[in-house]
């Protein structure tokens, strides 16, 4: 089964996030690291729901958008706490920005 681009992009971002959180300082891994992983999984799974079920598509996309906003905040916080470096912040911010554009476009299309 071929997945939509938005799902593939979010899936790849989730993999990147899980790799990054492995290297978090021990004190931040169980708290901030876990929250970041949960937010990325929530976004991914809501996008999957939206792509599979038309009746809950708009709600799932809105939930994915909220999870993505949470993820962005947590990624910035992880940089401010030196859990990730500037290059990682830049990479993850670029991925979340692209996914945000895709979710926004999908929501606009569905709201018509």
Contact indicator for 96, 68 with CB cutoff of 8 Å: yes
pLDDT score recorded for residue 3: 83
* Tally of CB atoms within 10 A around 18: 14
**How many domains does the chain divide into?**
1
Q: Tell me the pLDDT band of 111, cut-offs 50, 70 and 90.
A: confident
> Each residue of 30-86: pLDDT tens digit?
999 999 999 999 999 999 999 998 899 999 999 999 999 999 999 999 999 999 999
The CATH number assigned to the domain holding 62 equals 1.20.1440.60
Tokens 């030196």 belong to: 82
Cα–Cα distance, 4 to 28 (Å, whole number): 33
For the question of whether the overall pTM of this predicted structure is more than 0.85, the answer is: yes
Q: Give the alpha-carbon dihedral of 6, 108, 42, 92, to 10 degrees.
A: 60
Range of the domain at 59: 5-111
Handedness of CA 85, 18, 74, 91 (dihedral sign): positive
**pLDDT tens-place string over residues 9-35:** 999 999 999 999 999 999 999 999 999
């Amino acid at each position: 089964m071929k997945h939509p681009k938005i799902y593939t992009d979010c899936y790849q971002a989730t993999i990147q996030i899980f790799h990054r959180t492995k290297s978090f300082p021990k004190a931040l891994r169980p708290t901030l690291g876990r929250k970041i992983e949960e937010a990325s999984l929530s976004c991914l799974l809501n996008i999957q729901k939206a792509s599979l079920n038309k009746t809950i598509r708009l709600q799932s996309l809105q939930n994915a958008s909220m999870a993505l906003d949470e993820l962005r905040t947590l990624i910035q916080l992880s940089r401010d706490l030196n859990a990730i470096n500037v290059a990682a912040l830049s990479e993850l911010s670029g991925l979340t920005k692209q996914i945000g554009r895709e979710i926004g476009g999908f929501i606009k299309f569905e709201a018509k």
